Amino acid sequence: MTGAFDIALDLTENTKIGEGKFREAYAIRDGLCAKVLKSTIVKSYPCGIKIKLPGRLYARAEYFVEDLNRTEMDNYRWLVENIAFEDRKYFGKIHVVIDSKRYGTVLIAERITNADGSTSRDLLHEQTIETEFWEGFDRISEIFMRYAIPHFGLGGGNLVVKKDAESVYPVLIDYKKIGARFFPLQPWIHLPFFAARKVARSMTKIRNEFKPEPISVTPALTDLSHG
């Protein structure tokens, strides 16, 4: 599908809902979003050196694939086939990848929204994360462990906080980095046990970063001496 769809795509600053290292995401009609590869990406090296590279080149060097959007769609399809139907709500749907003359490949996905119609924000941008969110987060961790899903792109930018009418839970919106091939120097990552351990570490890191510890009200020694 090309051409005709280009006309319908309105990817402007006004419709932008977020951006990551590689892509920009835009709200489009019917509760959907469109993701396109950035034309240039700035790569930072130690000692402050920054180099601007064409997005396609950088994506190929880091992901070893021709097209990130198509890879992501394949990963998503594989993943949802492997998990129970009732757990699919934690995984944002990817519908299709289209070829656009203007934007290159465009990935069309479900736009995650809240009960008030606003677009759900990722963990890096959401200010209020209700405790209930972490129950869903644990569920996602369990799913990754149970089905040995080697997702190595887990981070705050890839989980959004969906605030439904009944509940608040995480939804994963990025499936680019699935598979052991990202660690050629760690061949043991092909074994489910080691892959699962790495995934578990990323989930723990996210929890430590975004889940505030409950404030403990330990009385000071001076208070006790008076009491």
Q: Which residues bind ligand ATP (CB under 6 A)?
A: 17-23, 25, 33, 35, 92, 109-112, 119-120, 122, 153, 157-158, 160, 173-174, 176
Question: Closest approach of Cβ 27 to ligand ATP, in Å?
Answer: 8
Q: Give backbone dihedrals phi and psi of 60, rounded to 5 degrees, phi first.
A: -65, -40
Helix (H) / strand (E) element for 106: namely: strand 104-110
Q: What is the 3-state secondary structure (H, E, C) of 17-64?
A: EEECCCEEEEEECCCEEEEEECCEEEEECHHHCEEEEEHHHHHHHHHC
Quick one: 157 or 192, whose CB is closer to Mg ion? 157
Cβ(5)–Cβ(100) under 8 Å? yes
The site that binds Mg ion (CB under 5 A) totals a number of residues, namely: 4
Q: Is 174 in the site for Mg ion (CB under 5 A)?
A: yes
Question: Closest approach of Cβ 174 to ligand ATP, in Å?
Answer: 4
Q: Which partner, Mg ion, ligand ATP, none, binds residue 120 by CB below 5 to 8 Å per kind? A: ligand ATP
Interior angle at CA 34, CA 52 and CA 99, nearest 5: 80
Q: Give backbone dihedrals phi and psi of 96, rounded to 5 degrees, phi first.
A: -165, 160
Quick one: 6 or 21, whose CB is closer to Mg ion? 21
Q: How many residues does the chain have?
A: 227
Query: What is the Cα–Cα distance from 203 to 163, expressed in whole angstroms?
Result: 21
Quick one: 122 or 180, whose CB is closer to ligand ATP? 122
Q: Which partner, ligand ATP, Mg ion, none, binds residue 126 by CB below 5 to 8 Å per kind? A: none
Q: Is 18 in the site for Mg ion (CB under 5 A)?
A: no
Q: How many angstroms from the chain centroid is the CA of residue 175?
A: 7
Quick one: 27 or 180, whose CB is closer to ligand ATP? 27
Q: Which partner, Mg ion, ligand ATP, none, binds residue 179 by CB below 5 to 8 Å per kind? A: none
Quick one: 23 or 151, whose CB is closer to ligand ATP? 23
Give residues in contact with Mg ion (CB under 5 A). 20, 157-158, 174
